[in-house]
């Protein structure tokens, strides 16, 4: 689950209610069986982001889901999160690795084979997030998509897990798995629905990857 507080109300509602709804949704997704929640809340005040990361980490502590914070290594460490997810333009994973605890997970967004190889060859990155694979509502109309063929080349080019993002659906999970991805991530895919519906969706997605890696 990649978060976006804008999916939980408008600015007129205030940040508090939106963030509360986001935390509740993350909890539902965690109990439905997802592996991780990536907090990607751009433009949120530092204090609010730290509180959100801390609250979500504590809320999910009784589940098997883990929390990674987008971009903000400092917030991730103070909040006690599982790890950090670094955008393509962020500091190198090798630099981040010298700062964090030994068990800290570091992921990175990549958009090309060259970026993927560079991140993987450094030896400090635990996983890659590649996209945009399919057209996505979170991207502007006309945003370039990579497609399954490019995803497959990315997965073949590196030895660490690659997660796919962008236009992910339950129906596309098997094709994504067949391309070599270790998993998938999404915003809209996990932004709504009952725990029962999400549990069914997560189960179907997981089944698509079983036996392929």
CA distance 108 to 130: 9
Q: How confident is the model at residue 192 (pLDDT cuts 50, 70, 90)?
A: confident
Give the tens place of pLDDT for each residue, 146-177. 999 999 999 999 999 999 999 999 999 999 99
pLDDT (tens digit per residue) in 63-96: 999 999 999 999 999 999 999 999 999 999 999 9
| CA gap 207, 15 in Å, rounded | 36
- The full 3-state SS of 36-62, as one line of letters, equals EEEECCCCCCHHHHHHHHHHHHHHHHH
Instruction: Return mean pLDDT, the chain.
Output: 94
For 5-209, the fitting CATH number among 3.40.50.1100, 3.30.365.10, 3.20.20.70, 3.30.300.30 is: 3.20.20.70
Assess whether pLDDT exceeds 60 at residue 197: yes
Cβ–Cβ under 8 Å, residues 79 and 54: yes
Q: How far apart are CA 114 and CA 124, in angstroms?
A: 16
The residue ranges of every structural domain in the chain are: 5-209
Query: 97-113, pLDDT tens digit by residue?
Result: 999 999 999 999 999 99
- DSSP H/E element including 130: strand 127-130
Whole-angstrom distance, CA of residue 19 vs CA of residue 48: 9
Q: What is the mean pLDDT of residues 184-208?
A: 93
Tokens 């997605």 locate to 205
Contact between residue 163 and residue 127 where contact means Cβ atoms under 8 Å apart: yes
Average pLDDT over residues 25-33: 96
Beta pairing partners, 164: 130, 184
Residue with tokens 């999400």: 198
Cβ atoms of residues 32 and 62 within 8 Å: no
Angle CA(45)–CA(14)–CA(3) in degrees, nearest 5? 60
């Amino acid at each position: 689950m990649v978060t976006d507080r804008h999916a939980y109300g408008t600015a007129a509602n205030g940040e508090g209610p939106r963030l509360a709804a986001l935390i509740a949704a993350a909890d539902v997704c965690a109990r439905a069986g997802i592996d991780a929640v990536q907090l990607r809340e751009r433009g949120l005040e530092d204090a609010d982001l730290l509180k959100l990361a801390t609250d979500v980490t504590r809320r999910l502590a009784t589940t098997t889901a883990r929390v990674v914070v987008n971009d903000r290594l400092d917030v991730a460490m103070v909040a006690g999160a599982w790890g950090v997810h670094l955008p393509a333009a962020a500091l190198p994973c090798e630099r981040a690795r010298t700062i964090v605890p030994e068990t800290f997970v570091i992921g990175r967004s990549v958009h090309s084979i060259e970026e993927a190889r560079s991140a993987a060859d450094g030896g400090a990155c635990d996983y890659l997030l590649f996209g945009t694979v399919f057209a996505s509502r979170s991207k502007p109309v006309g945003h370039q998509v990579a497609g399954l063929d490019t995803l497959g080349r990315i997965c073949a080019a590196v030895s660490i897990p690659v997660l796919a993002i962008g236009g992910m659906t339950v129906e596309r999970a098997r094709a994504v798995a067949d391309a070599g991805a270790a998993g998938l991530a999404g915003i809209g895919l996990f932004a709504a629905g009952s725990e029962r519906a999400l549990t069914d969706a997560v189960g179907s997605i997981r089944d698509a990857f079983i036996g392929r890696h």
